[in-house]
Amino acid sequence: MTNNESIDQRNAIYEIVMKYMSSLQFEPQNIDYQKLEKHKPVVETLAALTNSSIQIFDLNEVKIAFFSKNYAHLLGYSREEFEELNYAFFEAKIHPDDKYNLAMLGLSTLKLFKELSSDEKLNHKAVYEFRMLNSSGKYVRVIDQYQLLELDATGQMWLMMSTIDLSPNQDEESSVKCQIHNFRTGKIISSGVETKPSLELTKREMEILRLVKQGLLSKEISDKLFISVHTVNTHRQRLLEKLGANNTIEAIIFATKFGLI
């Protein structure tokens, strides 16, 4: 893959993520922005106590709705630099080799959260580790923890809180890491894999996994490939078994890491 092709692919994935977030439909009567205002002083206090950079992301407006006063101080940036550009400023600072995997993990996580019950949505958080460019022109590893603060009146994801800290692991060659935590039960869904799967995927399985990686749901894959939803789900279950994955997020990471897709 050429450098230009790689850039085009990363940009395409970013567009998929943004389109997915924009596809979430909100009705004004189902959103109470007074709840956002109530969260702001709490988040500001938390940021001051922990020395973490914290922001609130609004899925309705697809933008960062609130930055803590110390936001991005870990990377050395000032508010004047990033406030106008909002999310786009920080998206541009992600290491180009991490951007693709991070976008796909983010998309998969959003879809996973969407399928959870209202209670379960609020019980989980996604923890990412990746590289970002600081104001000195050096890439540093950060840990970014996302959890839902508010759902709309229908139970749909609305406000998400992101807490960013420098990672104790500053290995410049480490890849993107992701875990989904249920902080009520302590259960962790890991994205790591230690060994290469022993079985190769069939042509149809690879085709389905590529479509899942693009963000398509089982019904969308069914329509695209002219097969039943049951058949799609059967293939997806076999993929998990073959790859030794606990979920689709892990399956995509495993298959990509080992060059199967």
Query: What pLDDT sits at residue 198?
Result: 46
Q: 57 and 176 share a domain?
A: yes
Range ranked top by mean pLDDT from 16-25, 82-91, 220-229:
220-229
**Would residue 164 count as lying in a domain?**
yes
Instruction: Go through 178-205 and write b for each residue having 16 or more CB atoms within 10 A of its CB, e for each that does not.
Output: bbbbeeeeeeebebebeeebeeebeeeb
Listed in sequence order, the residues at least 6 apart from 7 whose beta carbon sits closer than 8 Å to its beta carbon are: 96
User: Is the pLDDT assigned to residue 6 strictly greater than 60?
Assistant: no
Which of 190, 211, 246 is a domain's end point? 190
pLDDT tens figures, 108-125 = 788 788 878 898 999 999
Q: 170 and 214 share a domain?
A: no
**Total domains in the fold of the chain:** 2
Q: What is the CATH number of the domain that holds 184?
A: 3.30.450.20
Q: 173 and 244 share a domain?
A: no
Task: Give 247's pLDDT tier (boundaries 50, 70, 90).
Answer: confident
User: Is the pLDDT assigned to residue 194 strictly greater than 60?
Assistant: no
**Would residue 12 count as lying in a domain?**
yes
Q: Which domain holds residue 165?
A: 3-190
pLDDT tens figures, 138-167 = 999 999 999 999 999 999 999 999 999 999
Mean of the pLDDT values across residues 5-11? 49
**Would residue 198 count as lying in a domain?**
no
**Would residue 225 count as lying in a domain?**
yes
Q: 88 and 151 share a domain?
A: yes
Q: What is the CATH number of the domain that holds 222?
A: 1.10.10.10
Query: What pLDDT sits at residue 83?
Result: 85
Q: 118 and 223 share a domain?
A: no
Q: 46 and 133 share a domain?
A: yes
